[in-house]
Amino acid sequence: MQHTRLLLLLAALSFIPTLFFYSVGEEGIYTISTMEMWQSRNWFIETMYGINLQRPPLMNWLGVGIANLLGWTHVLHSIRLLSIAATLGMAAWLYWLSARLFADRSFAAFAALACLAMADLALYRGWLAYTDPLFAFFTFGAMASLWVAALEKHKGWLLASVLLVSCALLTKAFTAYVFYATVGFVLLWRQETR
């Protein structure tokens, strides 16, 4: 267990150098639209060069908060930091869910480590200033808390799952509800979670 914790810490620290990597792909869209949202004070419509991008605003809202703390010259770092925090948060959700389902913290730590060790997450999608990590954080959190709410018959976790899936919608797309509903149908199908 001690080695797994050390490896988890190293996996988390491995994201630090990515903060200083040059801008990649569509990262400029989120940085520019976040700056425009702050400048225009239009909190509900994400624009780039004045054109409505027709995307939900939650990533921009959180990016504005972090950029105000770090300074607007570091807006790319701010949004990457948000993506990294969401990736680590998703691994924390996995740890929490695994610990609840299997009552084995060693296995839960291994599951979180396996998640963070996936090449696509560690080397690319886990740190880019895209909405995908934040969407995954909220969507997986909603699914995990719904699962635990059904197993433990706990209304608080059910409320948390509804709030999390709503945040996922405000982050990226309606598909969060499709994932959420799929978990709900599977849980309804299982005898012990009805």
Q: Are 133 and 125 in contact (CB under 8 A)?
A: yes
Question: Residue 101 — pLDDT band, cuts 50, 70, 90?
Answer: very high
- Positive or negative, the CA dihedral 115, 116, 117, 118 is positive
| Whole-number pLDDT of residue 194 | 66
What the block records as the tokens of 151 is 């197993």
Identify the burial level of 10 via C-beta atoms within 10 angstroms of its C-beta, where 0-12 means exposed, 13-18 middle and 19 or more buried. exposed
**What are the phi and psi torsion angles at 52 (to 5°)?**
-65, 120
- How confident is the model over 122-155, as pLDDT tens digits? 999 999 999 999 999 999 999 999 999 999 999 9
pLDDT, tens only, 4-50: 999 999 999 999 999 999 999 999 999 999 999 999 999 999 999 99
Other Cβ atoms within 10 Å of 125 Cβ, number:
16
